[in-house]
Amino acid sequence: MAITQEEILAGLSEIIDEIAGVPADEVTPDKTFVDDLDIDSLSMVEIAVAAQDKFGVEIPDDQLKDLKTVQDVIDYVGRASVSA
Amino acid sequence: MVNASTRVVITGVGAITPVGTDAPATWQSMLAGRSGVRALTADWAERLPCQIAAPAAADPATMIDRVQARKLDRCEMFALIAAREAWADAGKPDVDPQRLGVVVASGIGGISSTLTAYDTLRERGWQRLSPFTVPMLMPNGSAGWLSIEFGAQAGVHTPVSACASGAEAIAYGIDMIKSGRADVVIAGGTEAAIIELNIAAFAAMRALSLRNDEPERASRPFDRGRDGFVLGEGAGIVILESEAHAAGRDARVYAVAAGAGYSCDAHHIAQPDPTGTGARLAITRALANSGVMAKQLVHVNAHATSTPAGDVLEARAIAAALGEAAAGVVVSSTKSMTGHLLGGAGAVESVAAVMALRDRMAPPTINLDDPEFDLGVEIAVKPTELHAQGSEPMAVLNNSFGFGGSNVAVVFTDA
């Protein structure tokens, strides 16, 4: 059964809280990682690796650079987990 | 171009050490003669001949925001904690960021992060390494983090000279201000090296005390029963400021950071020159650089680590450097209580020397039950009042010597 958008958002929020200290209620789909959530590129790498482990999907570096918003990650993980 | 007329003062101090979580607590513990040396409880200690060390009085990770702590090596946490204290103690100076510098040293740098990262690499692969691994292991990581914390843009420096590093950082900071490159400098040293590899490596060179059954009595500088140093950890930071800048904001001044002297033994990579020439030169150069006469000196916070070779040579070097004026000097080794903080030592001991000057009180050298003969100087075994030898301002000295032959002496005087 495919993972839902809500489940991805909840899991991603946990990761972002753990690594970047951003409270879960601030992690909404429209937020950008760099400008809105103040997450630097190194922490973004850490978040991506944690997301790979949590959701069982690969996020190659050339894909990671295009994931600007929380919704981008939700969409990417949703697509990748369906095709996986 | 050094401007000899620019005086540098200390307007703030901070420390986290085996005997206190801040500078006042550390100083009170030193005056009370409290040892921070403990039995090591980690499993790995059972495999080593040395099973004692002097851990910091608190886990630094509990004193720093969790998310920031994830990105910091333990030595960087110590530096940040001590720097925040020193900065607040100085009244958070209002200074042009381009005139604010950082000079923070470490003897080893982020060694525990290095080893943890290596384990992660071997066990879980490169992708699981923290993206902050490099800034956690690089020796200038602490200085870099402090530059960000306080917005220091005048320059950020990390002199590395093993156990002289902390004193050299303060000396470099003094020069930064005297040379006109900064008005305020956050200076000091940090170390977090109580891990299996370091204990084993120092044990391999037979440098550590093996008095495992009496941890608090193991660090005993100048005592005939000494058998090596005890590894400590922590950080010391001072806020250095041009006298004019400090006066301009009515800052409280602890002391004048009068100057420093350097020399190199050029003798052996890890053993002191038996003639003590390098140590003596550093002291005489520090006095000359500071414009201080030997008779002004009332107290020396000695490097004395409790190793068989070093302590006696240092005492004799102090006596030789000061000549007749040595009779007016009280020498202390606070390493008898804190253990040896390596790159943090010279900074913590400079803080202690400044506190001794302020309070007119030399801290005790504990465990000195059976002093070596012919040291040529008085060693304080209990808190000892300091008395001026004349009408000139009183001066105190911190000695710090490091593997590689580095000798650094820093002079502080009454404001």
What digits encode the pLDDT tens for the residues A33-73?
999 999 998 999 999 999 999 999 999 999 999 999 999 99
- Domains of chain B plus CATH, in order, are 8-248 (3.40.47.10), 263-407 (3.40.47.10)
Contact B130 A19 (CB under 8 A): no
DSSP state of B363: P
Please name the amino acid found at residue B376. G
- Give phi and psi for A10, each to the nearest 5: -65, -45
Pairing of β B100-106 and β B184-191: parallel
* A24: region left, alpha or beta (phi > 0 left; psi from -120 to 50 alpha): alpha
List of chain A residues whose C-beta atoms are within 8 Å of the C-beta of residue B124: none
Contact of A42 with chain B, judged by CB distance below 8 Å, is answered with yes
Nearest to B166 by CA among B304, B317, B346: B346
Q: Which of B84, B79, B194 is nearest to B141 (CA)?
A: B79
Nearest CA of chain A to the CA of B25: how many Å? 31
Q: Chain A partners of B67 at a C-beta cutoff of 8 Å?
A: 19-21
Residue B339 DSSP SS3: coil
Q: Which of B50, B75, B163, B299 is catalytic?
A: B163
Which residue type, as a one-letter code, is found at position B158?
Answer: T
Look at residues B257, B281, B276 and name the one whose alpha carbon lies nearest to residue B350.
B257
A77: phi then psi, degrees, rounded to nearest 5? -65, -40
- Tell me the per-residue pLDDT of B118-165, one tens digit each, with 9 for 90 and over: 999 999 999 999 999 999 999 999 999 999 999 999 999 999 999 999
Provide, as residue numbers in chain A, all residues whose Cβ is less than 8 Å from the Cβ of B132: 42, 46
CB-CB neighbors (< 8 A) of A43 in chain B: 131
Question: Cβ contact (<8 Å) for B131 and A19?
Answer: no
- Residue B102 near residue B156 (C-beta atoms within 8 A): yes
Give the pLDDT confidence of B166-220 residue by residue, as tens digits.
Answer: 999 999 999 999 999 999 999 999 999 999 999 999 999 999 999 999 999 999 9
Kindly report the number of other CB atoms within 10 A of residue A76's CB atom.
Answer: 20
Q: Which residue type does A23 have? A: P
- Nearest-angstrom CA–CA distance, B161 and B403: 7
Over chain B, what is the mean pLDDT? 97
pLDDT confidence tier of residue A16, bands split at 50, 70 and 90: very high
A-interface mutation test, from B64, B130, B145, most A Cβ less than 10 A away: B130
Verify whether residue B163 is a known catalytic residue: yes
Q: Is B203 on the interface with A (CB under 8 A)?
A: no
CA atoms of B382 and B335, how far apart (whole Å): 14
- HEC string of B202-252? HHHCCCECCCCCCHHHCCCCCECCCCCECEECEEEEEEEEEHHHHHHCCCC
Report pLDDT digits (tens) over B359-406.
999 999 999 999 999 899 999 999 999 999 889 999 999 999 999 999
Check CB contact of B128 with chain A, cutoff 8 Å. Answer: yes
For B92-111, the pLDDT digits (tens) are 999 999 999 999 999 999 99
Interchain contact, B127 vs A20, CB within 8 Å: no
Contacts across the A-B interface (CB distance below 8 Å): 15
Helix (H) or strand (E) holding A5: helix A5-20
B303 catalytic per annotation: yes
Chain B residue with minimum CA distance to A19: B67
Q: Grade residue B256 by pLDDT with cuts at 50, 70 and 90.
A: very high
Instruction: Give strand pairing partners of B188.
Output: B104, B237
* Residue found by looking up tokens 């490596």 in the block: B201
- Tell me if A19 and B127 make a contact (CB, 8 A cut-off): no
**What is the least distance, in Å, from the CA of B106 to any CA of chain A?**
24
Helix (H) or strand (E) holding B146: helix B141-150
Q: What is the CA radius of gyration of chain B?
A: 20
User: Can you name the CATH fold of A5-83?
Assistant: 1.10.1200
Q: Is A83 exposed, middle or buried (0-12, 13-18, 19+ CB in 10 A)?
A: exposed
Tell me the pLDDT tens digit for each residue of B266-281.
999 999 999 999 999 9
Phi then psi for residue B60, to 5 deg, are -65, -25
Altogether, the residues listed in chain B come to a count of 415
Name the token pair of B98: 């381009």
Q: Is B264 a catalytic residue?
A: no
- Orientation angle between helical segments B196-204 and B111-124, nearest 10 degrees: 120
Instruction: With a threshold of 0.85, tell me whether the complex ipTM lies above it.
Output: yes
Q: How far apart are CA B263 and CA B261, in angstroms?
A: 7
- A 10 A CB-CB count for A66 gives 8
* Among the partner residues A21, A42, A45, nearest to B66 by beta-carbon distance: A21
Q: Please name the residue of chain B whose CA is at the shortest distance from the CA of residue A58.
A: B127
Mutation site, A15, A38, A45, interface B, largest B CB count within 10 A:
A45
DSSP type of residue B167: H
